[in-house]
Amino acid sequence: MRIAIVGGGIGGLAAALFLRQAGQEATVYEQAAELREVGAGIVVSPNMARPLRKLRLLAELERIAVRLDAAWEFRRWNDGRVLFSQPMGEACERMYGAHCYVAHRADLLALLQKALPAQWLRLDHRCTGIGQDGGEASLTFADRGGRETRVTADAVIGADGIHSTVREALAPGADARFSGLCAFRCLVPQERAPAMALRPVQTLWLGPGRHFVHYPICAGRLVNVVAIAPAGDWRAESWTAEGKIEDMVREFAGWDERLRQLILSATDTKRWALYDRSPLERWTAGRISLLGDAAHAMLPFYGQGAAQAIEDAEALAACLQGAQADSAAAALLRYEEIRRPRASQVQLMSRGRELRNHLPDGPEQLQRDAELARGDPLRDSAWLYGHGLPSAPAAR
Ligand X SMILES: Cc1cc2nc3c(=O)[nH]c(=O)nc-3n(C[C@H](O)[C@H](O)[C@H](O)COP(=O)(O)OP(=O)(O)OC[C@H]3O[C@@H](n4cnc5c(N)ncnc54)[C@H](O)[C@@H]3O)c2cc1C
| Shortest Å distance, C-beta 133 to ligand X | 21
**Contact between residue 14 and residue 309 where contact means Cβ atoms under 8 Å apart:** yes
- Residue 83 CB, shortest distance to ligand X, in Å, is 20
Contact positions vs ligand X (CB under 6 A): 6-12, 29-32, 42-43, 126-127, 159-161, 165, 183, 226, 292-293, 300, 303-307, 309
Shortest reach from residue 257's CB to ligand X, in Å: 25
Whose Cβ is closer to ligand X: residue 12's or residue 386's? 12
CA–CA separation, 39 vs 223, rounded Å?
11
> Among residues 185 and 369, whose Cβ is nearest to ligand X?
185
Q: Are strands 177-189 and 269-276 parallel, antiparallel or unpaired?
A: antiparallel
Q: Closer to ligand X at the Cβ: 51 or 207?
A: 51
Q: Which 3 state secondary structure label does DSSP give 167?
A: helix
In the bound complex, what is the minimum distance in angstroms from residue 361's beta carbon to ligand X?
A: 25
Asked whether 229 and 251 are in contact (CB, 8 A), the reply is: yes
CA proximity to 279, closest of 180, 329, 346: 346
Residue nearer to ligand X on the CB measure, 38 or 196: 38
Q: Which is nearer to ligand X, 51 or 161 (CB)?
A: 161
Beta bridge partners of 232: none
**Cβ atoms 265, 194 nearer than 8 A:** yes
Nearer to ligand X, 42 or 315 (CB): 42
Distances in whole angstroms, Cα of residue 140 to Cα of each of 126, 147, 149, 156, 166: 8, 10, 6, 12, 11
Residue-by-residue DSSP string for 52-120 = HHHTT-HHHHHHHSEE--SEEEEEETTT--EEEEE--HHHHHHHHSS--EEEEHHHHHHHHHHHS-GGG
* Nearest distance, CB of residue 15 and ligand X, angstroms: 9
Cα dihedral value 286, 292, 294, 299, nearest 10: 140
Residue 285 and residue 288: Cα distance in Å, rounded?
5
Give per-residue burial for 272-298: e unless 16+ CB within 10 Å, then b: bbbbbbebbeebbbbbbbbbbbbbbbb
16 versus 306: smaller Cβ distance to ligand X: 306
- SS3 string, 312-346, reads HHHHHHHHHCCCCHHHHHHHHHHHHHHHHHHHHHH
Is 215 catalytic? The answer is yes
Residue 180 Cβ, how far from ligand X at the closest point, in Å? 15
At its nearest, how many Å lie between ligand X and the CB of residue 94? Answer: 22
- Among residues 101, 215, 302, 335, the one annotated as catalytic is 215
By annotation, the residues acting in catalysis are 215
